[in-house]
Structure 1
Amino acid sequence: MAESFVFGVADSLLGKLASYAYEEASRAYGVYKDLQAFKDTLLIVRGLLLDAEDKKNQQHAVREWLRQIQSICSDAEDVLDGFELQDKRKQVVEASGSTSMKVRHFFSSSNPLTFRFKMVQQIKDIRDRLDKVASNGTKFGLTTINVNPGLPVQRRQMTYPDVDASSVIGRESDREEIIKLLMQPHPQGDGVGDKRLCVIPIVGIGGLGKTTLAKLVFNDKKVDQLFQLKMWVCVSNDFDIKQIIINIINSISDSMLASASAPTLNFSQHQENINNLDMVQLVSRLRSKLSGQKFLLVLDDIWNDDRAKWIELKDLIKVGTVGSKIMVTTRSKSIASMMGTIPSYVLHGLSMDNSLSLFVKSAFEEGEEENFPNLVEIAKEIVKKCLGVPLAVKTLGSSLYSKFDLTKWEFVRDSEIWNLEQKQDDILPALKLSYDQMPSYLRHCFAYFSLFPKGFSFGMNSMVKIWIALGLVESRNGSENLENIAREYIDEFHSRSFLLDFKDEGQLFVYKVHDLVHDLALYVAKDECVLVQSHTRNIPNQVRHVSIVEKDSLDLDLILKSKQVRTILFPIRGMGLDSASLLDTWVSRYKFLRLLDLSDSSMDTIPDSIAKLEHLRTLDLSNNSKIKRLPHSICKLQNLQVLLLSGCTELETLPKGLGQLVSLRKLSITTKQSVLSQNEFASLKYLQSLDFYRCDNLKFLFDEAHQPTFLETLIVDSCGSLESLPLYCFPKLQTLFLKDCKKLDLSLNNENPIQKLKMKHLYLREFPGHLTLPRWIVGAADTLETLEINDFPNLKMLPECLTTMTHLKRLFVRFCPQLLTLPNDIKRLTALEGLRIFNCPELCQKCQPQIGEYWPMIAHIKHIFIGKQK
């Protein structure tokens, strides 16, 4: 991945060096000329990078040259980071007014004279290294290619993530054939005399659309009539029988609630709490739910080739009535043969005509292709190389969306990337071309998808926090919310067909990365990013980003040799660090860490030495249930932007000196405190997101004199003692999430006239005592884009101001059984794109497609989900 990382880092460095702030700082510390010389050389190198990318596969020396440039650029980034840190330390000292702090600062390494001497030496060393390596570029015959990395990316209208039969091309006959198999009796049984269970495998190469076909079948109305119960379980790499049983039971619960498509915030709201049951209890629960039922179970994405494991699972679920079916999807014909009780349904590629139709749909707006017959002719040649694989067709088509330059189309058609050696039946070159078509800022971000296992379900912050911590997301005007910019990146990846199962609920969203796209991320990441598993033995010396996905892998012998590690991540929930000594080693060794994720760990202390990680941007300590106190030295991390303490249920108090974290933008808190330090929070001038979770003793938050005035997102979840929440304290608030605060009076501030709010996203959950919604919602009528009303069992009427919300895009109403009506003039909500209503029995009945009395009022809405009533 050297070329993409270097290109991105080079752009980032050049942007910083060109800024007024860096110019002033470099003059102040006497290093202006040195930095300008470094900048001039970097500009030359940047022009050679794309040519080096084209030639690296033919010349080993060019690959090594790229690796060296990458290392120098990353080191330079660390040095330049020192400017920002020095400035922030100066801010803290001046703001404190403390003489003793000023004295300590004078005699520390942060003293301006000491800092200047150190900086001059570091910049000179890096400049000399870059000059030496850059001179080798011409020896390899590299030429300068001028590019504009900041070119805007053409956007297309986002597609709804749920499967829409009308939007799937070329799979109608496949769907009907699978449904026929589901309707047929099963006289052959499973080979051992059991006629109750039929297993239908769908097999084909990755990206062929096996899961899409299974979803088309699963959601077909004819299938609803065939089975009493339908369950969907994604298995992926790890064929863990206990986890599969848990997922089946949860899928049964989802099916009964008809709410499987509704994501929640970091937890599944209505699934059974069964994770702590032992195997005997789980099997008993599973059998009781399946016994006597005619069911359809989909096991999606099977990689297990252990027949004994499969037979064990099948024996546990053979309790349904005659006619029950299992449908499995897999890439492997041998696995399909092992699992199937009938011949596999082999899924083939799309026809040329269907492939071309899908390509045209991805590359042009409807009807636009008629204006470009020359491009359509090239498209016919491109789709031949896609081998009928829908994902390859869509990603290539999307990469050319709204690009009408003939040379760009010819590049895709003629590129030698298709000739790269690959595993049999892979389609990686098609995806690699789509990757190459992305702007540099997206390419730089893309590789980090490789830090998560295949099939991982990304929540709204999983990837965003990595990009921001590594400096890959930059504000265009100096004041933009970085999370919002990162969300735009996510939307870009989605628009290019790199993401799937995208569920959008405003600021709350989840998605997955297709397996082939994950393969591509691994390909471009190479040795820069490593996913550490139990079988991992050798970690490359140049690795900078490490993700640990199995606890067995935490062997002290696996201590990373590279001291340049920037990311340590535990992405799997419940799998954190349980070795304090290993943490001590990491803190002392990896001083350039930008992101340290210790979520779900089981340590009771964090070392004082944490303050040595002066480059740290994100520290995630969430769900550490043993930590009672944090070292006050954490507050010396002036570069820290994100501090996550949510779920630290034993944390007695926040660290003293929190106000010294002058860069803090996001803070998530669980604490036993009843009172917060108002002055500390008032000092956090850049705080944009604040999250309170299970702060059981907290009665109030802030007053008008002590509030974080830049706050844009406020989440208050399960704070049982909270009585008041003065919204007037947050003039810039855009997102408000309130859940299960039993003593909180939602009327909050009922002053007249009602204050105007700038809120865009409002989520209200679990307020059983409220008969109406708060009047202050009127104040947000002009700006609200997302409104969720969830679990208001006594709510009988939606607010009158609802139909004045002309910007409302999403309306979600859930678990409001006494809500009987919609406003008669709901048609006035012309911006409304998504409506979801379930567990509101009478209202759902009135909103049923075609037959409900309210259907004519809502039929114009693009995406509608009405929960079926049992």
Structure 2
Amino acid sequence: MAESFVFHISSSLLTKLGSYAYEEASRAYGVYKDLERIKDTLSIVRGLLLDVEEKKNQQHALHEWLRQIHNICSDAEDVFDGFELQDKRKQVVKASGSTWMKVCHFFSSSNQLAFNIKMAHQIKEIRGRLDKVAADGTGFGLVRINVEPELHMQRREYTYSHVEASKVIGRENDKEAIIKLLMESNLQGDGGKSLCVIPIVGIGGLGKTTLAKLVFNDNRIDEVFQLKVWVCVSNDFDIRHIIIKIINSTVAHQENINHFDIEQLQIRLRHKLSESKIIVTTRSNSIASMMGTVPSYVLEGLSPENCLSLFVKWAFKNGEEEKYSNLVEIGKEIVRKCAGVPLAVKTLGSSLFSKYDLNKWIFIRNHEIWKLEQKKDDILPALKLSYDEMPSYLKQCFAYFSLYPKDSVFSISEIVDIWIALGLVQSMNESENLQNIARDYINELLSRSLLQDFFITGNRGSFKVHDLIHDLALYVAKEEFVIVGSHTRNVSEQARHLSIVENDSLGHVLFPKSKIVRTILFPIEGVGLDNETLLNTWLSRYKYLRYLNLSYSSFEILPNSISKLEHLRVLILYNNSKIKRLPHSIFKLHNLQVLLLNGCTELETLPRGLGKMISLQHLYITTKQSVLSLAEFVNLNHLQTLAFQFCKNLKFVYSAEQQLTSIETLSLQSCGSLESLPLHLFPNLESLLIIDCNMLNMSLNNENPIQTLTLKHLLIRDFPGLLTLPEWIEGALETLETLLIYELPNLHTLKCLTTMIHLKRLDIIRCPQLLSLPSDIHCLTALEHLVIDECPVLCRKCKPQYGEYWPMIAHIRIVFIGEPIGQEEE
């Protein structure tokens, strides 16, 4: 696992060093030959890393070698970051046009000559350290592998169709559901003559294969299907071998078809499987959707009652549980950590079989499942398959889930920001958007059944991870990722990512003195930093921080030393209810991409110089100011998201008619005094959220002919005075994809709704005066998702099957209509 992390960071460094921008920069700073030498040596080291997995017997000796490489690559990232930072300083100086600033820049430590000397020294040091570890690697007997790595996977053994039904608990309903699907003759609408593929999907250990065996061996299947074939497909399957195996399984005597080409084999296979039905089990949603001809059957976990029954069956000899009621009670607590996964229940139950020592049971109850001894068929090997099969870039990203408590709701945007800040998201070319790539990573983890409760609306979304998947993240994260609480006595010097979940007994002596920490976050609502001395220690010690989340903290002043964190990408001060000011030196954070000040209700004013933070992409603001000029933001060419939240005094936002062309998302929330907002300042706006801004003129200063907009996502919420949708929405009729209207108690009509030709999602919630839908709503052919709730009359009219509007909306793929309780139509 360690080698996969190191391999990823070395690969990303090689990608960066191979770019045209780095070649140009290295020539400009006179370090081109040194960087080429580093690139060559890094290629050697990367090749050696591919051989580490094959030297299992030397893992202990290799651990220190891997640690050294990781440290060198991390240090190299920091040094190379200096190239980009120096260029950004030049951009700021050039844009400022200030003679004084240019003079100060020349005499500062960052002037060209001083920078060149410093950079050359650091690069030579990196090169020397890298040369040494490359030589050490060959001393371990490692051989450089020059080809791209194949995934080193833990292989799953072949399965067979036999199963002892008496040992399977809690899957009767699932079995009946699958059998019902198999028995239906009209799945394809053609009398069952076409091939039908039924995918069973779920995480490792849920019992997908066991369920398939139960179905396969049911007597009713024998009565309907004359031919049954069980085929196990391994990770490195050969398609010719699989087809031949299937064909030969359908005949009494094997045919000599080894000489057939692939087309001949497919023809023979189609003939053998005509009018067949196929069950496929997989962890991958993408594979299921690709292969399935009917919707996937998503296998859920067992109920607590079934889990306990299964546990008792594996932990006790028949009937012995009656003698040990005290152990059964502990067993109830033990199965909770199994989260409904049968293989986990079996793992823990079998580990206690015929062991009636109370202390042993308490030990199992109190410890993480991964710390227990694991056999090859237990839960860890089963779930670790999912991890082993990941590409290296996903393995590193996956480990960050370990920094959050179990049952956390993960914000997609927050996870994306962390991954990008830490350099885990790599683009193949500079034109690719890193946020889109990171979201693709999340979708890939979802397709591998590693995420659950996935929810997305517009450009926002969230998800959770199964408790056992979280444990797996803890297992693979090891010493680099540390959760700090009141029970923590010390933190490893190798810790790079710190998550503080309790602020009791936190002192500076607890934290490592090494400078390699990259992440500090407070992931639990209400838990924040109230120790300014500790904050000063962090800011002075961890100068290479990339991600600093101080949510729910309670200090009044952010120290000037924040400006020393030159590598910082994300700074979050969310819901710091005491902070009154930010140091003006904060503008020196030229690498900062995300700045969250929302919820800082005592912040008196924004600091001068925000326009010099030229890397800013996302800016969330809470301030006591009544008037705010956006003129300085015009120079923020990468700013995509601008949010004003809980700015209770803010009346006007202006920009002297200068447009902010980079803004794609604009959010206005609980700005009760805001009177106007010139929408034309944001010509490329794609997402607009307006929530609880009751003084806002919803014409948004659009007095001219209706402006053409590029809006894709719109949320309007909590406007008692709104009777109909604002006219300016007509400017987005050809682009709007998501329309969410919540808590508009006096809204009575949906003007222009049916001309939104690309609308995919429509939510109407808590709009009790809305009594009807447009009669031509069926014209919204792109609409895929409709939610109507807490609109009593409208809910009754749209009631599935019976409501008068149901025929107009029945074609929509996903429809949720709330219960028509409360007010009735008169």
Q: Cα 1:47–1:625, aligned 2, differ >3 Å: closer, same or farther?
A: same
Q: Is 1:676–2:676 an aligned residue pair?
A: no
Indicate the SS of the match to 2:127. Answer: helix
Indicate the SS of the match to 1:812. Answer: strand
Q: Cα 1:142–1:861, aligned 2, differ >3 Å: closer, same or farther?
A: farther
> Who is 1:141 aligned against?
141
> Who is 2:458 aligned against?
506
Q: Is 1:75–2:26 an aligned residue pair?
A: no
Q: Cα 1:50–1:830, aligned 2, differ >3 Å: closer, same or farther?
A: farther
User: Which whole-Å CA distance do the structure 2 matches of 1:697 and 1:30 have between them?
Assistant: 53
> Who is 2:86 aligned against?
86
Unaligned runs of 5+ in 1: 152-168, 178-204, 213-347, 380-391, 404-417
User: Which whole-Å CA distance do the structure 1 matches of 2:8 and 2:99 have between them?
Assistant: 42
Q: Is the 8 A contact 1:170 1:351 kept in 2?
A: no
Structure 2 letter corresponding to 1:860 = H
Q: Is 1:395–2:283 an aligned residue pair?
A: yes
CA positional deviation for 1:658: 1.0
Q: Cα 1:644–1:376, aligned 2, differ >3 Å: closer, same or farther?
A: farther
> Who is 1:817 aligned against?
768
User: Which whole-Å CA distance do the structure 2 matches of 1:798 and 1:150 have between them?
Assistant: 55
Q: Is 1:23–2:23 an aligned residue pair?
A: yes
Q: Which of residues 683, 686, 700 is equivalent to 2:652?
A: 700
Deviations 1:364-414 (A, max 9, x none): 9xxxx99965698999xxxxxxxxxxxx964368689879xxxxxxxxxxx
> Who is 2:408 aligned against?
456
Q: Is the 8 A contact 1:355 1:393 kept in 2?
A: no
User: Which whole-Å CA distance do the structure 2 matches of 1:772 and 1:823 have between them?
Assistant: 13
User: Which whole-Å CA distance do the structure 1 matches of 2:446 and 2:474 have between them?
Assistant: 19
User: CA RMSD, aligned part only?
Assistant: 3.5
Structure 1 letter corresponding to 2:21 = A
Unaligned runs of 5+ in 2: 152-168, 178-201, 219-229, 250-279, 292-346, 348-369, 822-826
Q: Is the 8 A contact 1:695 1:718 kept in 2?
A: yes
Deviations 1:479-506 (A, max 9, x none): 5554333222222211211100112212
CA positional deviation for 1:458: 1.1
Indicate the SS of the match to 1:701. Answer: strand
Q: How does 1:30-429 map to 2 (within 5 A)?
A: 30-56=30-56, 58-145=58-145, 171=171, 173=173, 350=211, 352-353=213-214, 373=243, 394-395=282-283, 423=373, 426-429=378-381
Q: Is the 8 A contact 1:835 1:861 kept in 2?
A: yes
Indicate the SS of the match to 1:534. Answer: coil
Structure 1 letter corresponding to 2:52 = A
User: Which whole-Å CA distance do the structure 1 matches of 2:429 and 2:23 have between them?
Assistant: 17
CA positional deviation for 1:718: 0.7
User: Which whole-Å CA distance do the structure 1 matches of 2:755 and 2:6 have between them?
Assistant: 50
Q: Is 1:619–2:571 an aligned residue pair?
A: yes
Deviations 1:227-252 (A, max 9, x none): xxxxxxxxxxxxxxxxxxxxxxxxxx
CA positional deviation for 1:855: 2.0
Structure 1 letter corresponding to 2:548 = L
User: Which whole-Å CA distance do the structure 2 matches of 1:57 and 1:748 have between them?
Assistant: 69
Q: Is the 8 A contact 1:3 1:66 kept in 2?
A: yes
Q: Is the 8 A contact 2:629 2:654 kept in 1?
A: no
CA positional deviation for 1:146: 5.2
Q: Is the 8 A contact 1:428 1:516 kept in 2?
A: no
Indicate the SS of the match to 1:552. Answer: coil
Q: Is the 8 A contact 2:717 2:744 kept in 1?
A: yes
Q: Is the 8 A contact 2:678 2:702 kept in 1?
A: no
Q: Is the 8 A contact 2:409 2:463 kept in 1?
A: yes
CA positional deviation for 1:84: 0.7
Deviations 1:322-365 (A, max 9, x none): xxxxxxxxxxxxxxxxxxxxxxxxxx9645256999xx99999x
Structure 2 letter corresponding to 1:92 = V
Structure 1 letter corresponding to 2:82 = G
User: Which whole-Å CA distance do the structure 1 matches of 2:632 and 2:217 have between them?
Assistant: 60
User: Which whole-Å CA distance do the structure 1 matches of 2:758 and 2:591 have between them?
Assistant: 37
> Who is 1:245 aligned against?
none
Q: Is 1:545–2:497 an aligned residue pair?
A: yes
CA positional deviation for 1:568: 0.4
User: Which whole-Å CA distance do the structure 2 matches of 1:475 and 1:738 have between them?
Assistant: 33
CA positional deviation for 1:579: 0.2
Structure 2 letter corresponding to 1:865 = F
Percent identical among aligned pairs is 63
Structure of higher CA gyration radius: 2
* Bigger relative contact order, structure 1 or 2 (CA pairs below 8 A, ≥6 apart): 1
CA positional deviation for 1:805: 2.7
> Who is 1:415 aligned against?
none
Deviations 1:399-457 (A, max 9, x none): 89879xxxxxxxxxxxxxx9x99645852223322223223322221111111111111
User: Which whole-Å CA distance do the structure 1 matches of 2:27 and 2:691 have between them?
Assistant: 51
Indicate the SS of the match to 1:757. Answer: coil
Indicate the SS of the match to 1:461. Answer: helix
CA positional deviation for 1:743: 1.0
Q: Is the 8 A contact 1:593 1:615 kept in 2?
A: yes
> Who is 2:691 aligned against?
739
Indicate the SS of the match to 1:850. Answer: coil
Q: Cα 1:799–1:738, aligned 2, differ >3 Å: closer, same or farther?
A: same
CA positional deviation for 1:741: 0.5
Q: Which of residues 751, 774, 781 is equivalent to 1:799?
A: 751
User: Which whole-Å CA distance do the structure 1 matches of 2:171 and 2:728 have between them?
Assistant: 49
User: Which whole-Å CA distance do the structure 2 matches of 1:22 and 1:60 have between them?
Assistant: 36
Q: How does 1:596-745 map to 2 (within 5 A)?
A: 596-703=548-655, 705-745=657-697
Q: Cα 1:631–1:478, aligned 2, differ >3 Å: closer, same or farther?
A: same
> Who is 2:804 aligned against?
853
User: Which whole-Å CA distance do the structure 1 matches of 2:581 and 2:97 have between them?
Assistant: 27
> Who is 2:361 aligned against?
none
> Who is 1:530 aligned against?
482
Deviations 1:706-732 (A, max 9, x none): 342200111110111112222221122
CA positional deviation for 1:705: 3.1
Q: Cα 1:804–1:589, aligned 2, differ >3 Å: closer, same or farther?
A: same
> Who is 1:866 aligned against?
817
User: Which whole-Å CA distance do the structure 1 matches of 2:735 and 2:373 have between them?
Assistant: 51
Q: Cα 1:655–1:752, aligned 2, differ >3 Å: closer, same or farther?
A: closer
Structure 2 letter corresponding to 1:630 = L
CA positional deviation for 1:567: 0.3
CA positional deviation for 1:700: 2.4
> Who is 1:767 aligned against?
719
CA positional deviation for 1:677: 3.5
Structure 1 letter corresponding to 2:767 = C
Q: Is the 8 A contact 1:667 1:691 kept in 2?
A: yes
User: Which whole-Å CA distance do the structure 2 matches of 1:82 and 1:859 have between them?
Assistant: 58
CA positional deviation for 1:580: 0.2
User: Which whole-Å CA distance do the structure 2 matches of 1:838 and 1:712 have between them?
Assistant: 29
CA positional deviation for 1:523: 1.9
Q: Is the 8 A contact 1:47 1:144 kept in 2?
A: yes
Deviations 1:37-72 (A, max 9, x none): 101111222223232134346532223322221111
Q: How does 1:564-579 map to 2 (within 5 A)?
A: 564-579=516-531
Q: Is the 8 A contact 2:671 2:692 kept in 1?
A: yes
Q: Cα 1:456–1:633, aligned 2, differ >3 Å: closer, same or farther?
A: same
Comparing 370-379 with 548-557, greater Cα deviation is found at 370-379
CA positional deviation for 1:100: 2.2
Structure 1 letter corresponding to 2:456 = D
User: Which whole-Å CA distance do the structure 2 matches of 1:118 and 1:850 have between them?
Assistant: 74
CA positional deviation for 1:827: 2.8
User: Which whole-Å CA distance do the structure 2 matches of 1:362 and 1:513 have between them?
Assistant: 28
